[in-house]
Amino acid sequence: MVLSNFHPVNIHIFGQEFRNAEQAFQWKKAIELNRPDLAEKMIAAPHAGAMKCTSKEIPDSIADSWRIKKGVNVLKHIIEIKSKPATISKGHYWIANLLSLRLHQINSGPLGFYLSTLEKPKRNTGLVKIV
How confident is the model over 19-37, as a mean pLDDT? 94
d(C-alpha 109, C-alpha 74), whole Å: 16
Distance CA 65, CA 56 (A): 14
- Is the pTM higher than 0.75? The answer reads no
Q: Are 35 and 19 in contact (CB under 8 A)?
A: no
Dihedral of CA atoms 115, 84, 30, 55 in degrees, nearest 10, equals 60
Please list, residue by residue across 67-81, b when 16 or more beta carbons sit within 10 angstroms of its beta carbon and e when fewer do: beeebbebbebbbeb
Domains in the chain: boundaries: 11-116
pLDDT digits (tens, 9 = 90+) for 80-108: 888 776 555 554 545 555 666 666 666 56
Q: What is the pLDDT of residues 65-83, one digit of tens each?
A: 998 899 989 998 998 888 7
- Answer yes or no: are the C-beta atoms of 72 and 102 closer than 8 Å: no
What CA–CA distance (Å, rounded) separates 21 from 89? 15
Q: Quick one: average pLDDT of 20-24?
A: 92
pLDDT averaged over the chain?
A: 76
Task: For residue 45, give the amino acid letter.
Answer: A
User: What 3-state class would DSSP assign to 93?
Assistant: coil
Distance CA 75, CA 115 (A): 12
For residues 74 and 24, give the distance between their C-alpha atoms in angstroms, rounded to a whole number.
Answer: 9
